[in-house]
Amino acid sequence: MAEEPREAVRVVRPGSSVDIIWERDDLKNSVHILKAMVYEVAGERIVISQTSPPLTKSHVGHLVSVTYLVKNQGRAARFGFAARIAEFMKDYEIASGDRVSVPVLKMQGAPEPMNIRLHFRVRPKSDSGLALSCGGKRVNLLDVSLGGIGFSHGDTRSFKAGESIRLQVNVDERRFHLEARVVRVWLSEPSPGSPYLQFVTAKFPVLERELERALGRKIMMIQREMLADGILKS
């Protein structure tokens, strides 16, 4: 077993990119993730850049999760810790010399390995080895996580939120069949010459172990490729 990167795990460092998990909506199979950069670390106090959308003083006291990726022997691993939004500092001087208002977090626990793959969606490339069919017809796979999937289609069929759909997920040469529940549906903006598209987000039930393993490995592989390509930053 590879040794954990202890120094990186103990605390994030100034300059690190972090994902602030603001809240989870298990019904909609989603989390609100705000991206930020660490400006300063002083004990349990962590000063971060303002997020987009921005945190405000009304959020002081709220509990969040702070997660980040670290590299260990060429692999990406995610760690995180609970934190509370403690205060906002005015006129905080950043490296450029500008003075800005910044959130200050207070750690509520030690960093530990964190698995947010259930909520972390990746956008597979066409050559990723992932493919999706619904009702026996191939659809356009947009994003996928261990908790759900997003796709678009130009078929005449119209999906509705709340209905169950039958999916076939191809992971490389393996085929898996499962049911999912539609949680959101929306239409593309009409434009001349563009085909009609319906966009669908669906939530998975508890996955069978073989599918969870195969899909989980594929998601982690795509995540590592995104990290290597600079799409994700550790």
94, part of any domain: yes
- Distance of alpha carbon 53 from alpha carbon 71, whole angstroms: 28
Question: Distance (Å, rounded) from C-alpha 159 to C-alpha 81?
Answer: 38
More confident residue, 101 or 73: 101
Task: Please give the C-alpha separations between residue 216 and each of 32, 48, 211, 213, in angstroms, as whole numbers.
Answer: 21, 30, 8, 5
- Mean pLDDT over 26-52 rounds to 80
User: Which span out of 9-13, 44-48, 81-85 was modeled with the highest average pLDDT?
Assistant: 44-48
- Shared-domain flag, residues 139 and 67: no
Beta bridge partners of 182: 202
Last residue of a domain, one of 113, 143, 165: 113
Overall average pLDDT of the 189-193 stretch = 61
| pLDDT above 60 for 86 | yes
Tokens standing for residue 83: 């934190």
- Do 161 and 99 share a structural domain? no
In 3-state terms the chain splits into helix, strand, coil percentages (rounded to 5) of 10, 50, 40
Range from 100-104, 133-137, 182-186, 229-233 carrying the lowest mean pLDDT: 229-233
Cα–Cα distance measured from residue 34 to residue 57, given in angstroms and rounded to the nearest whole number: 16
Output the pLDDT for position 85: 94
Residue 125 lies in a domain: no
pLDDT tens string 131-186: 999 989 999 999 898 888 999 998 777 899 899 999 999 999 999 999 999 988 88
| pLDDT > 70? residue 3 | no
Q: According to the model, what pLDDT value does residue 230 have? A: 62
Residue 24, CB half-sphere, CA atoms under 13 Å: how many? 10
pLDDT of res. 27 = 39
Q: Is the pTM of this model over 0.85?
A: no
Residue 9 predicted with pLDDT over 60: no
What does the pLDDT average to over 61-87?
Answer: 84
* Same domain flag for 26 and 92: yes
- Range list of H helices, the chain: 6-10, 209-228
DSSP per-residue string spanning 27-83:
TTTEEEEEEEEEEEEETTEEEEPPPSSPP-GGGTT-EEEEEEEEEETTEEEEEEEEE
Number of structural domains found in the chain: 2
Question: Do 105 and 84 contact (CB within 8 A), yes or no?
Answer: yes
Residues 76 and 13 in one domain: yes
Residues of the domain holding 182: 130-228
